[in-house]
Structure 1
Amino acid sequence: MEIKLASVDSVIVYFDNKISLDVSFNVKQYLEEVKKLEGIIDIVPSYTSILITYDIFIYSYDQIVSVLEKIKVNKISSSDNKIVEIPVYYGEEVGLDLKRISEEKNLSIKEIIDIHSSGSYRVYAIGFAPGFAYMGEVDKRININRLENPRKSIPKNSLAIANEQTAIYPQSSPGGWNIIGKTTIEMFDKSLSSLCPVNVGDEVKFYSISKEEFLKQGGVL
């Protein structure tokens, strides 16, 4: 673990330079300990590090480093993390890139859906936008590059893949990921203390639902 100055009131704690499940677990465990500290203004976890903003009227740089260095993380297993199941409608009217992926990968749309929904995905980081959870890893058979020309607007709750990652757009926004479906789950929920139904280290499983069930749950085509 290494702690470096980020700005006048923030530091970055680095755990490793490689993405792995062990590092993801360490980030999550360390994050929970930092939340208990007084004078912490903001915490932003990523794949292998955590950006921590602190109150400079409580800590000097040397003091915050000393406090953070005393936090110890133990190796934990996947059983210590929650499993979150998310319903997805993989219809072509919401899966804007399903047909193209099918052609590029020489797979039927059903095969793409089966492959994606049969996997489990670890939440490695939450960023880009509130509630945007980066999850991996996507099966190599449907691993596909980002769009060369990003869309100006991707509908809220769209499920997407890019290379080895998958994610849900929590709000309508520009983006270059490949859209394969849509969920009814709110990924940015102000009623939750964490603002998001998933946290770093959690395991996410997607399951396919019909168009009728999607609409019944409040989904929007």
Structure 2
Amino acid sequence: MNNKWFTISPVAECALMLHFDDAISEQQIGFYAGAIGQHLQVAVMNVVPAYHTILVEYLPFRLDEVSIILAIETLLNEMADKKVATSSQHHVIPVLYSEETALDLPRFVEKGVHLEHLISLHTAPCYSVSAIGFTPGFAFLSDVDDRISLPRLSSPRLQVPKGSVAIADNKTAIYPSATPGGWNIIGRTPLEVYQPNNIPITPFNIGDTVAFKAISEKEFLNLGGML
């Protein structure tokens, strides 16, 4: 279904991809994604915003494809003239980088990057939230220094500790909960970045910026972290 500023296309049996005009800001994308999840929660399982796109996964026994497309189109057109806050937030995330928390440190050492150098390279940039998805609260942050870019593990872990800070290719992220995962673990934050009983459930939005700050084990434990 085509509109002047967005299109909706089926990409799987129970999934739709919304593509937005380049003039639509990251903040607007996040605003629309939140509205879809809220207003169509009876049929929507997951909403994943990214730059200029939103992936919507839905329950076909609640709304069929034609009905969900019509509902999304109607909702977005109703919201087209609503003002969206354009201010982004900056987050500083404390991280314990250590041999105990950096589970994949040996992979970085193999390419000549030891712990202190890894800390320096990972904490230097100011990252941008480029997408939210994978699991609730999982924010993709772009881009890491090329010297610490590593592909995903060939065999994912059955469980990654909650709060783990990780790298995959040119992205970095925080695991908001203990889940299976194949990213390279380099540290752990004591902060709760996924709180399902709060609104919003995560502090991150598309377009926000994130910086990482190295802390000691004592600081990590004082902030509620667990080893």
TM-score (norm 1): 0.79
After TM superposition, give the deviation of residue 166 of structure 1 in Å: 0.8
1:123 pairs with 2:137? no
Contact 2:33 2:49 in 1 (8 A): no
Distance 1:98 1:50, change over 3 A: same
Which of 119, 132, 150 lines up with 1:113 in the alignment? 119
Distance in 2, Cα, partners of 1:33 & 1:129: 19
After TM superposition, give the deviation of residue 10 of structure 1 in Å: 7.2
- Residue 108 of structure 2 corresponds to which residue in structure 1? 101
Distance 1:121 1:66, change over 3 A: same
Which of 15, 23, 41 lines up with 2:20 in the alignment? 15
- Residue 28 of structure 1 corresponds to which residue in structure 2? 30
Distance in 2, Cα, partners of 1:132 & 1:141: 23
Once the two structures are superposed, the pairs formed by residues 61-80 of structure 1 within 5 Å of their partners are 61-62=69-70, 64-69=72-77, 71-72=79-80, 80=87
Which of 154, 161, 166 lines up with 1:155 in the alignment? 161
Which of 142, 147, 165 lines up with 2:148 in the alignment? 142
- Residue 45 of structure 1 corresponds to which residue in structure 2? 48
Contact 1:30 1:73 in 2 (8 A): no
How many pairs were matched up?
A: 212
After TM superposition, give the deviation of residue 164 of structure 1 in Å: 0.9
Runs of 4+ in 1 over 4 A off after TM superposition: 5-11, 32-36, 38-43, 52-56
Question: Residue 99 of structure 2 aligns to a residue in which SS?
Answer: coil
Instruction: Give per-residue Cα distances to partners, 1:5-60, cap 9 Å, x unaligned.
Output: 578997532127xxx9x763442243356578x5554461332324276985xx94
- Residue 9 of structure 2 corresponds to which residue in structure 1? 4
After TM superposition, give the deviation of residue 68 of structure 1 in Å: 2.1
Distance in 1, Cα, partners of 2:219 & 2:71: 54
* Identity %, equivalent residues: 36
Question: Residue 122 of structure 2 aligns to a residue in which SS?
Answer: helix
Distance in 1, Cα, partners of 2:75 & 2:202: 28
Q: What are the ranges of 5 or more consecutive residues in structure 1 without an aligned counterpart? A: none
Contact 1:40 1:53 in 2 (8 A): no
Distance in 2, Cα, partners of 1:155 & 1:39: 32
After TM superposition, give the deviation of residue 179 of structure 1 in Å: 0.4
Distance in 1, Cα, partners of 2:217 & 2:185: 16
1:169 pairs with 2:169? no
Q: What are the ranges of 5 or more consecutive residues in structure 2 without an aligned counterpart? A: 1-5
Distance in 1, Cα, partners of 2:215 & 2:76: 44
- Residue 3 of structure 2 corresponds to which residue in structure 1? none
Distance 1:34 1:160, change over 3 A: same
Give RMSD over aligned pairs: 3.3
Contact 1:157 1:171 in 2 (8 A): yes
